[in-house]
Chain A
Amino acid sequence: MRLHTSLRLAAVVAATALLATACSSGGGDETTDGSTGSGEKVELTFWTWAPGMEEVVDAWNAKNPNIHVTVNKQDGGDPAVTKLLTAIKAGSGAPDIFQTEYQKIPTLVSSDALADIADVLPDGTKDHFAAGTWEAVTLGSDAVYGVPQDSGPMEFYYRDDVFQQLGLQVPTTWEQYAEVAEQLHTADPTKYLGTFSATDAGWFTGLTQQAGASWWGIDGDAWSVEINSVQTLKVAQYWGDLVEKGVIDNKPMYTPEWNAALNDGTQVGWLSAIWAPGVLEGNAPDTAGKWKMAPMPQWDGDNATGNWGGSASSVTSQSKHAKEAAQFIAWMNSDQEAVNILVSAGGLYPADIPGQAEALANPPAFFSNQPDFYTLAGQIAQTVTPFTYGPNVNVAYSAYNDEFGKATEAKKASAFTDAVQAMQTATVDDLKSSGFTVKD
C-alpha cells in the first residue's frame, strides 16, 4: 500500500529541510566564530532565480576577494519562499541573501525570515530609489528589509502591424480599449486584444493598483483589508463586462496555448510590465519587430500605472554576516557597473534611478523598432501609484485563482464582482483566525 498522506507530507517537509541544509553547505555558517575582522574571508550564499545573477556576482567576487558570494539558483518565487520558510522553521539552512518579490516581503517579515539591515547598509543607499519603491522594503517603518533590485511598471503592448492593417487606434483610455477590443474581435473573430487571466493574481493586482486601489493598510497596531474597494470593484466590473461580451478571451496566460496565440497573432495585445520584451522574445519569436509599447489605458485621464513583478534583495535572519551581505546587495543594486550588468545580462529594469540613464541607453533587441522604448518606459515608471501589501498576500492570491477561475469560466460580469467580495472575505477571515488585529 502507498504511504499515508500525513507521513508523506512530513517526509516532504523533512526532505525539503535536508535539501535546504545540503544546499547551504559552504554557506555563511562556515566561518564559525562569526567575527568578520579584516583579512578574513567571508562566504555568502545567494538564493535567486533572476537571469544574469551569476555575471553580476562574478564581477563582485573579482573585486572583493574577502567577501565571496555563491549563487544558488532557485526554481522561482513561490518555491523559493516555501524553501526559505522551511529553513527558517528548521532553524538552519537559509542562505545569507535572498531574492524577495515585493509582495512577499510582509509575509517573510511576519515569519521573521528577513533581517533588518537599517544599521549596516552603506549611507545614502536610500537616495538611489523612488520613494514608493523604498517603502516596499521598509513597510513604512524604520526597519529596512532589503534593497530594491528591479521593478515592473505596467504598460500596454500591442501588435503594431495588425493595428495598422485593421486601422485601429492605440487606446489611451479604458473606454477606448473596450472599443478597440470590440472592433478587433468583430473584424476578425479569431483575434483578441487580450485575455483575462485567472491564474495571474499579480497582474490583476497591478490593474487595480493603477485604478487607485491598495488592498492592505496599516492603521496603528491593526491591519486593514480593502480588496473590495470601489476601485477594485470598478476594474472587476470592467473586465467582467468585456469577458461577458466575448470581446476579450478568458483563457489563462502562460499556457502553451497562450504562447502559440501570441506567436500566431491570435493575441494582438498584452497588458504587461517592463519585462515583457524578454517573455515575448521567448514565447513569440516569430513576431520580432512587430510589437510596440504604449502607456496603459487610463481611467480618468490622470496618468497612472500599476506594478507587476519586481524584486528586492534581502538578508535573511539566519545570516551571520549581515554587514557583508548588506554591502554586497547595496553594491549589486545601486553601483553603475552592477546595474549595467543587471540590464545587459539579466534584462531587468533596474530600480536604481541614477544608474538608469547609462544602463538603459539602447532599447531591448526585440523592440529595436522602438528606439525610445526606455525613454517612454522611464516616464511611465514615474507614474506608479502607491500600494501596500499585507502579511497574507498568499491567501488573497490563492483566493483570486479560485474565485476568478469560476468567474471567468462563468463569463458573467456579476461573477467578477462576487469574486472580489469572496477574496475580501477569505483574506480577512485568514488574518482574524491567525490572531492579527484587523480593522473593520
Chain B
Amino acid sequence: MTTTELAASAAAVRRRRRLAPYGFLAPAMVLFALFLALPIGYALYLSLRTVKVSGLGLGKGARTEIWAGFTNYTAALTDPEFIASVVRVTLYGLLLVPTMLGLALLFALLLDSRRTCGKGVSKIAIFLPYAVPAVIASLLWGFLYLPGVSPFYYVFEKLGWDVPDILSAQWVVFAIANIGLWGGVGFNMLVIYTSLKSIPSELYEAARLDGASEIGIALRIKIPIAMPSLILTFLFSMVATLQVFAEPMTLRPLTNTISSTWSPLMKVYRDAFTRDDIYSASATSVVIAVATFVLSFGFLLLVQNRAFAQESRS
C-alpha cells in the first residue's frame, strides 16, 4: 500500500468517525422530529386556522379552511367554560396534591421505620392501585359511588346513616380526587421511599447517640434529605392535575354533575371530537401546554436554590 493510499484510507476513517455520532443520533432525531416536533408544529399551525362555511354548508366545496390569526386563542382564553374548568381543576389539585403527597410521605416514612413489620406486603398493597389503568379504576369506583349498586351505601343504609350522594354537585370533585388519590399514592410513596433508602445509616446512628427520637429523625433528617424527591413528585402531580381527563370522562355518563368541559382537557376533547372543531381545540391545547410549561419551570426556579443547594454544596 502506498503512502497516498494510506492517507486516503485514514481520511476515510476520520470522515466516518466524524459522521458516526450523527448516525447514532439519527434514530432518536427522526423519532423526535416525526412524533414530537412535527405534531407540535402541526398543532400550532392548526391553532391559527379555521373553517368557513358558505350557504347551507351541504355538498362539496361548502367548507374552506382559512387563516384565523389569533381568534382561536382569544376565544379560548375568554371562554367562560374554559375558565370554569381551570377553576375546577385548581380546586381538584388543591384537594388532591397535598393529600396524596402527605399520605405518600407518611407511608414512606412508616415503611422506612425500623419497627414496621410486613414491609414487603404493605409496599405492594400500597403500590398496586398505580398499576390499575385510570379508566378501569374510574369504572370500579363509579360502581362504588352509585347509591343503587354500591355496597358502601348498602351498609350506610343498614346502619341508618344518611350519607349524601358523592356524585352530587358539591361532592363530585371529592369523588374524582379520590380516584386520583387511590391510584397516585403508591407511585409517589415509592419515589420518596427510594430516596429515603439512600440515606447513609451513619446519620441515624449519630442522631440516636445525640438522643433523637424516631419522630425527630424523620422530621430533622429524613424529610430534609428527601426534599428533592418530594419536589419531583409535587411537579409530577401538578402536571397530572392540569391534565386530568380519564377519571372525569369515565364517570361522566354516570351523573348529571360532570359537564363535558369539566376539565380543560375534556374541553379540548369535546371541541375536537364532538364539535369537530380541531382548530379551536388545538389553540386550547397550546394554551394548556404553555401554562403547564410556565408553571412547572416557575416552580422549579422558585425551589431550586432551597432544595438542591445541599446537593451542590456536598
Contacts and interface: CB of A to CB of B under 8 A. Distances in A.
A9 B276 contact: no
A10 B285 CA distance: 10
Contact of A406 (B256, B265, B281): B256
B147 A9 contact: no
B296 interface: yes
A6 B286 contact: yes
Interface string A397-431: 01001101110110000000000000000000010
Contacts of B255: 252, 405
A88 B163 CA distance: 50
Interface in B254-270: 254-261, 265, 268, 270
A187 B97 CA distance: 48
A151 to B, nearest CB: 23
Nearest to B53: A435
B239 A256 contact: no
B256 A408 contact: yes
Contact of B259 (A13, A82, A139, A402): A402
Contacts of B56: 218, 221-223, 391, 436-437
A10 B148 CA distance: 40
B109 interface: no
Interface string A235-271: 0000000000000001110111110110000100000
A85 B278 CA distance: 11
Nearest to A199: B253
A7 B290 CA distance: 12
Nearest to B168: A409
B197 interface: no
Contacts of A218: 56
B148 A266 contact: yes
A381 B63 CA distance: 37
B285 A405 contact: no
B149 A395 contact: no
Interface stretch (B5-13, B22-30, B38-46, B221-229): B38-46
A435 B256 contact: no
A394 B253 contact: no
Interface residues of A, number: 59
A198 interface: yes
Contact of A112 (B40, B62, B276, B289): B62
A398 B57 contact: no
A109 interface: yes
Contact of B52 (A85, A250, A391, A434): A434
Given A9-B285, A252-B256, A401-B260, A395 B39 contact: no
B69 to A, nearest CB: 14
A186 interface: no
Interface in B225-241: 235-236, 239-240
B276 A111 contact: yes
A110 interface: yes
A257 B147 contact: yes
A5 B260 contact: no
A257 B274 CA distance: 26
Contacts of A110: 53, 57-58, 62-63
A11 B289 contact: no
Given A199-B253, A398-B270, A402-B259, A6 B285 contact: yes
A82 B277 CA distance: 11
Interface string B144-166: 00111100000000000000000
B59 A112 contact: yes
Nearest to A266: B148
B272 interface: yes
B306 interface: no
Contacts of A1: 235-236, 239, 296
B275 interface: yes
B58 A391 contact: yes
Given A111-B63, A223-B56, A409 B285 contact: no
A255 B274 contact: no
B292 interface: yes
Given A255-B253, A409-B257, A434-B57, A5 B276 contact: no
A107 interface: yes
A282 B278 CA distance: 37
B172 to A, nearest CB: 10
15 contacts: A1-B239, A4-B40, A4-B292, A5-B268, A7-B40, A9-B282, A9-B285, A10-B40, A112-B60, A112-B63, A223-B56, A394-B276, A405-B259, A409-B257, A436-B56
Given A199-B252, A260-B149, A436-B56, 6 more contacts: A1-B236, A78-B274, A112-B61, A252-B255, A398-B274, A434-B57
